Amino acid sequence: MPKRINLRRKRFGKWYVLSYAGNSMWKCRCECGAIRYISGVVLRKGLSTQCKACKIESDKNKHVGKKIGYWKILSYESPGKYRCECTRCNTTYSVYVGNILKGLSKQCNACLFKYGRHGMSGTKYYRVWLNNKARHRFCDRWANSFLDFYEDTFAGYSDGNHIIPLNKNRIMSIDNYEWSKGFYSKGSAFVKIGGIVMSKSAWARHYGITRQGFEYRIRKAKKHLDNNG
Ligand SMILES: [Zn+2]
Ligand SMILES: [Zn+2]
């Protein structure tokens, strides 16, 4: 029978060995105060260095402070999810860090588009996003991510378009927006026709029709434009 190695009063990570408990087991106290019985082999091989509760706690924070690409991991939120800062644009996001830790994500989606291979930062489309975001006219999904905005709206866009809400009492989102051609903006009291800007009421008088009749005409004209480019 091999001689028992005395582990009493020794430290193994957060464990402090109190006494031998028989059967190759040692009574240990974790730094947090938890008492557990652990086999001598497990202790000596470093297979256990703290109690379960302490391990969960330290696992939570093990990614905090890491810097990967432009990301800085700030704090734990929930399993896998951390508050992270994209240091390129100084914006914080709540993100699953899997792709960051694997090196697949090095910056936020807005920066990816701004500086990445898509190079959209100089485009009018990007400015539409930036301007409307700054005026708090977008839903959170769009405000938080240029990529999401791009996914939802880019298909119908052409240069010079304005984005406007269908219902101007609500913020813009995937079911509350449309791309408007320059000369006609829904909800705007002014309309430009043939280079002249006048209020809708003035145009209606000009054509000798009601304002409703005029609005009907510009809707039809817009439809015609949409259908024929
Ligand atoms: Zn503990
Ligand atoms: Zn960024």
**Tens of pLDDT, residues 119-155:** 577 788 888 999 999 999 999 999 988 888 988 888 7
Residues within 5 Å of ion ligand 2, judged at the Cβ atom: 86, 88-89, 108, 111
Region 145-168: mean pLDDT is 85
| 63 Cα to the center of ligand 1, angstroms | 19
What is the 17 CA–ligand 1 centroid distance (Å)? 13
Q: Tell me the C-alpha distance between 90 and 170, whole Å.
A: 28
Q: Which ligand ends up closest to the CA of 115? A: 2
If you measure from the C-alpha of residue 110 to the centroid of ligand 2, how many angstroms do you get, rounded to a whole number? 6
95-100-105 Cα angle (round to 5): 95
Helical segments of the chain, H only: 40-44, 52-61, 98-101, 109-115, 124-134, 140-144, 146-153, 200-207, 211-228
Calculate how far, in angstroms, residue 114's C-alpha sits from the geometric centre of ligand 2.
Answer: 9
Structure tokens that stand for 24 in this block? 């190759």
Tens-digit pLDDT profile for residues 51-89: 999 998 888 888 999 999 999 999 999 888 999 999 999
User: What percentage of the chain exceeds 70 in pLDDT?
Assistant: 87
CA distance linking residue 149 with residue 144, whole number of Å: 9
Residues 6+ apart with CB under 8 A from 213: 204, 207
pLDDT at 119: 59
Higher pLDDT, 158 or 67: 67
Q: Using the 8-state DSSP alphabet, how is residue 66 labeled?
A: -
